[in-house]
Structure 1
Amino acid sequence: MSSDERRSPLRVALISSSFAPHVGGVETHVAQVATALHDRGHAVEVWTVDRGMWSARAFPVPVRYLPTPLPARSLDGLFRTVWSVPRAWREWRRTYARFRPDVLSVQCFGPNGVYAAALQRAFTTPLVVSSHGETLGDDNGVYARSALLRRSLRAALAQSSAVTAPSTYVLDDLRARFGLADGVVVPNGVDLSLGTADPDAPRQGLVLAIGRLGRMKGFDLLIDAFALAALEGVRLEIIGDGPERVSLQQQIVSLGLVESVTLVGEKDATAVAQRIGDAAAVVVPSRSESFGIVALEAWRGGAALIMTSRGGATDFIRDGEDALLVDPEDTAALAATLTSVMADEPLRSRIAAAGAQRVGEYGWSRVALDYEELFTRVRSDAGP
């Protein structure tokens, strides 16, 4: 590829399963990549599923909330989709015609991916599918229930010009269950503009966990382990909101942890970064984690990282050096790891310092560059 090809601006549609005002890993990923590609001189739009909520905050690229009805099994649902699918398809075609992207980049394959794949077939624009672990870590079991989505993902992988995932864990699942022939890892990133905290600064007796309060995130496992560890003078805060909030609060009460465990609710990115800067440790106790942006946030915040072994962590974490890997479903092992980190300050400090040294490798500019090179290649392969 020539230097002129690398510099030639791209027109990229980032077609996301979800976006602001919703909060989560894919929403963060798409927002950061869109901004970074825009800052690098590319024309970018975000096309996302219309869930009846729209963000009012300013964003550097256009965001289009598009209808994505799919055929339903029920008779009533069938009647609705007979009318709504053609109408939605016309809206997708109009959006395509206004922007004329060089690349259709699906971010987290759901109904958005079904419509993006249809656009590829209609206009032969290169399709890039980026899976974010949606086939592995879905609390709602959408892929287990929907044969249409399973068939559509398999077909989209076959017709795509490239496939990415944040870890080999996700790529291996796509190979095993959805017929993927080849794919590349494009990792997640972290916002380095918020600054990095000194890992040697004094820390509170505070353990943090951050994320959507859903079953896959494993916060119930962490609460059980925290109760077993019985760490004197240590508090646990869980930042986030979601469908498991009531059951988690009931669990806290039943274990007698009301004074030491708090469900904080949602906080913005700056507030989360500040709180990590206070914490001694951050725990990611997920039952399945395709990558885990929170791990990078812990490194940026100078906290010691305790990370689930169930997922893609081994791609980027060096166990015993910059984090401690543990199976969160092994309550005794997780409790012992919490005790080790909070009782052994030299261990805690060493792990935190090693993570802080590595976080600079994972800025969003690096992630955007990986996409830029991939998108440029598939555009070039597609020809004029």
Structure 2
Amino acid sequence: MKVLVVSWEYPPVVVGGLGRHVHHLAVELAALGHEVVVLTRTPTGSDAATHPSSDDVVEGVRVIAAAEDPPAFDFAQDMMAWVLAMGHSMIRSGLRIRSATGEPWVPDVVHAHDWLVAHPAVALAEFHDVPLVATIHATEAGRHSGWVSGRVNRQVHSVEWWLAAEADALITCSASMHDEVTRLFGPDLAEIHTIHNGIDITTWPFRPRRVNTGPATLLYAGRLEYEKGIQDAIAALPRIRRTHPGTTLVIAGDGTQETWLRELVRTHRVTRAVTFAGPVGHDGLVTLMQACDAIVLPSRYEPFGIVALEAAATGAPLVTSTAGGLGEAVTDGVTGLSFAAGDVAGLAAAVRGVLADPVAAQRRAVNARDRLTAEFSWGLVAERTAGVYLSAKRRVRRPLGRPVIVERPLPDRDLSGGPG
């Protein structure tokens, strides 16, 4: 098939896990024999003079990066205007795609990744009259504990709703995200397919653990945002240190809540026991994962939790909440130890369980890594995604009204809200 993948991030422009996901998927689809074109963008803050639009073949994938237009929109201050401008430049680049013979290149399917590319993906699928497949990686309501009461929250939610309503097939990365998308955007949606994220274990080398006779080191890796639950790990640290003196916590990553989290560290009087390592890069993260006694992922909202797979590949014992996809990626007592999202006492107990029996923790870590090759290979993800492409049919379009936006939290969602 000829597949047009539309994503606002693709190497070398990578913001988070979405960029890595689209990259691995596109390369594997090309390896299966599909003709894959990725339509993406140049770096934020660039322009056509410094970073002109490009059209290159990388790892068997044709990558078209649309240059930013001249209007001075700043993503942090003018997010929706910036997104619309990006979409406009991507549409123009998408309409100019030519084949090797110079003829217009027409895809068999358009695959959109998240709401930021809704406008170019919907427009190009409509122009070519081909099925639109949309992967919903996360939702605005989920990221904000169920609330979409802010002006920008409502705007983002409405674009997510529009993309879901326009899609001829939907993909989510976990069963919990399947349920969330149905609850938020249903019931008149196309079929929703659950396809877990994959992992390339060759880039996350395994290292067996030696029994540590000294103070333990815990690791958190990811964005510093409220929904990641880092505040719960900080709150649990004094309890953990009472039974395991000297235990420290390394926090790797950055985000909007770093200042608040540093204040919490002082509030809980664990300043000397917590290190904010900042962004450490891939190699630095591998080193931290291989050295830690356990990685703690206390998310309160987590569509999937790719960091859990990456840590498992390195052999790091897993201590994770049961939020969303983490509850599906980690089997309590078999591939790691789990606790209910937001349960500080449960988090402390799980960490103590790992530190009290490192042999059992290592056995679970080996089980976790063995599971990766069987269930989370990118080749399998690509095969399943191609199956969605083949089954997707362009539905009869009908006029859409404005979405009804429910501003209260979703059922069964944590209601505690974020800082401030």
TM normalised by structure 1 equals: 0.82
**AA in 2 matched with 1:134:** T
Change (3 A) 1:86 1:252: closer
Distance in structure 2 (CA, Å) of the matches to 1:376 and 1:237: 45
Q: Is 1:13 the counterpart of 2:27 in the alignment?
A: no
In structure 2, distance between residues paired with 1:349 and 1:91: 47
- Overall identity of the aligned pairs, in %: 26
2:167 aligns with 160
- Do the aligned partners of 1:11 and 1:42 also contact (CA within 8 Å) in 2? yes
* Alignment partners' CA distance in 2, 1:170 and 1:151: 17
Stretches of structure 1 that go unaligned for 5 or more consecutive residues are 1-9, 69-76
Q: 2:382 — aligned with what?
A: 368
- Counterpart of 1:369, as a letter, is E
- Amino acid aligned to 2:217: L
2:119 paired with 1:120: no
Please report how far the alpha carbon of residue 66 of structure 1 lies from its aligned counterpart in structure 2 after TM superposition: 6.3
CA shift digits 1:104-147 (9 cap, x unpaired): 1111223x113311222232121001011224443599955454
The SS at the match of 2:299 is coil
Unpaired runs of 5+ residues, structure 2, are: 70-77, 98-104, 397-420
1:288 aligns with 2:284: no
Amino acid at match of 1:268: G
Structure 2 CA distance for partners of 1:88 and 1:368, relative to 1, 3 Å: closer
5 Å matches for 1:264-303?
A: 264-303=277-316
Counterparts of 1:325 and 1:281, CA distance in 2: 12
Contact 2:211-2:359 at 8 Å conserved across structures? no
Work out which of the residue numbers 174, 180, 186 in structure 2 matches 1:173: 180
As a proportion of its length, which structure holds more helix? Answer: 1
> How far has the Cα of 1:331 moved from its partner?
1.2
2:111 match:
105
SS at match of 1:355: helix
TM (norm. structure 2) is 0.75
Cross-structure match for 2:44: 52
In the superposition, relative to structure 1, how do residues 89 and 318 fare at CA in structure 2: closer, same or farther (>3 Å)?
same
Query: For residue 202 of structure 2, what is the aligned residue in structure 1?
Result: 193
Q: Quick one: structure 1 residues 26 and 249, their matched pair in 2 at CA, closer, same or farther if it must change by over 3 Å?
A: same
In structure 2, what residue type is equivalent to 1:174? V
- For residue 6 of structure 2, give the secondary structure of its aligned residue in structure 1: strand
- Find the residue that maps to 1:329 and give its secondary structure: coil
| Range 252-261 or range 219-228, more displaced | 252-261
Moved more, 40-49 or 142-151: 142-151
Whether the 8 Å contact between 1:226 and 1:338 is mirrored in structure 2 is: no
CA contact (8 A) 1:12 1:105 kept: yes
SS of equivalent residue, structure 2 residue 176: helix
Aligned pairs, number: 362
Whether the 8 Å CA contact 1:21–1:53 is kept in 2: the answer is no
SS at match of 1:13: strand
Shift of 1:156: 3.3
